[in-house]
Amino acid sequence: MASNYERHSFSRFLVLLLPLLLQFHSGKSELQLNYYEQSCPKAEEIIKQQVINLYNKHGNTAVSWVRNLFHDCMVKSCDASLLLETFNGIETEKTSQRNFGMRNFKYINTIKQAVEAQCPSTVSCSDIVALSARDGIVMLGGPRFEMKTGRKDSKESYAAVIEDFIPNHNDTGSLVLSRFQSIGIDTEGSVALLGAHSVGRVHCVNLVHRLYPTVDPTLDPDYASYLKGRCPTPYPDPNAVLYARNDRETPMILDNFYYKNLLKNKGLLLVDQQLTSDSETLPFVEKMANDNDYFHEQFAKAVVLLSENNPLTGDQGEVRKDCRFVNTN
């Protein structure tokens, strides 16, 4: 007769084995820290070095890496679908109205080439999207944190459904919160993520409705006249590079000036300013405006959640050789 101990350890053995068996069965596995430890030990170092080099040449690349993470991971999965070009029946996501203003995609290829030179066909474009955002955040004076890897790249684009995931610049606060909620990010995390709008720019097409024909009454009057100076006509040519900075005080630093500005009615987009008119979000805005470390902590936590949204792993998807095209073999 088996002793209690033996029965115990056998059932413990089963408990340990079961998830493994299930994993093999579905071909799905988990993201993990240092996924490339064996296959490409320098992967994270190479990516970081490239992010630093690019930042030194074109500071706004770091800003782009942060926005890429949102626009890739929010839409179904962190799978670099964002990077695909229109080719062979695939419609690029890059030209979607929601992705207006995105830039620096060509430098993703620079990072990918540096990684490919060391470790061909090993490191996914989706991990490059994730790690470049993580390292870009550090270049912008944001928090340092660890990020898991092991994402695989999609073989498809979600251009047709982007608007079901990425909110518009003038959507309601409740819609914005529900979109983040649906990927497991709570109200506090959503308020923290929007703090990314502490860096970068907004084109006039996304601002003029707050200025013309009448100025949005929630907008600080001095700030409104500054914005009218930046965007002098109600019908800006979308191709003209007329824009305003997200944060005039520290436009290239990921800090809590975003929240301080909101409390002074100097939010740029409607989705930004609305964070102060909702009693659910206002307390978080106040807390983040008062404490940059707290903002950084919440921002890092929410970025990690965003980066882990529904990844392709194991034998799902592929590792693209060129981030712009699915593999042809």
Binding site for ligand HEM (CB under 6 A): 63-64, 66-67, 70, 100-101, 103, 167-169, 176, 193-194, 196-197, 199-203, 206, 269, 271
Q: Taking a C-beta distance cutoff of 8 angstroms, is the pair 112, 128 a contact?
A: yes
The one catalytic residue among 8, 25, 71, 296:
71
**Closest separation in Å from C-beta 266 to ligand NAG:** 20
Buried b vs exposed e over 157-167: b needs ≥16 C-beta within 10 Å?
bbbeebeebbb
How many residues contact ligand NAG, by CB under 6 A?
A: 2
- Interatomic CA distance for residues 70 and 224, integer angstroms: 28
Q: Which of the choices ligand NAG, ligand HEM, none does residue 167 contact, using the CB cut-off of 5 to 8 A by kind? A: ligand HEM
Is 276 known to sit in a ligand binding site?
A: no
121 or 170: whose CB is closer to ligand NAG? 170
The torsion angle over the Cα atoms of residues 268, 274, 279 and 280, rounded to 10 degrees, is -90
- Interatomic CA distance for residues 18 and 3, integer angstroms: 23
Is 197 known to sit in a ligand binding site?
A: yes
Q: Taking a C-beta distance cutoff of 8 angstroms, is the pair 263, 286 a contact?
A: yes
Is 218 known to sit in a ligand binding site?
A: no
109 or 168: whose CB is closer to ligand NAG? 168
**Closest separation in Å from C-beta 272 to ligand NAG:** 14
Is 135 known to sit in a ligand binding site?
A: no
C-alpha closest to that of 35 among 123, 99, 126, 130: 123
Q: Which of the choices ligand NAG, ligand HEM, none does residue 326 contact, using the CB cut-off of 5 to 8 A by kind? A: none
168 binds ligand NAG (CB under 6 A): yes
* Alpha-carbon distances, residue 176 vs 11, 185, 278, 317 (angstroms): 45, 11, 12, 29
Question: Other CB atoms closer than 10 Å to residue 30's CB: what's the count?
Answer: 13
Verify whether residue 25 is a known catalytic residue. no
Among 56, 170, 178, 327, binds ligand NAG (CB under 6 A): 170
Structure token pair of residue 42: 């320098």
What is the phi/psi pair of residue 84, to 5°? -70, 140
C-alpha closest to that of 319 among 150, 166, 103: 150
Is 79 known to sit in a ligand binding site?
A: yes
132 or 206: whose CB is closer to ligand NAG? 206
28 or 148: whose CB is closer to ligand HEM? 148
For ligand NAG, the binding residues (CB under 6 A) are: 168, 170
Mark the binding-site residues, compressed into ranges.
72, 75, 79, 81, 93, 167, 197, 247, 250, 255
Mark the binding-site residues for heme b, compressed into ranges.
197
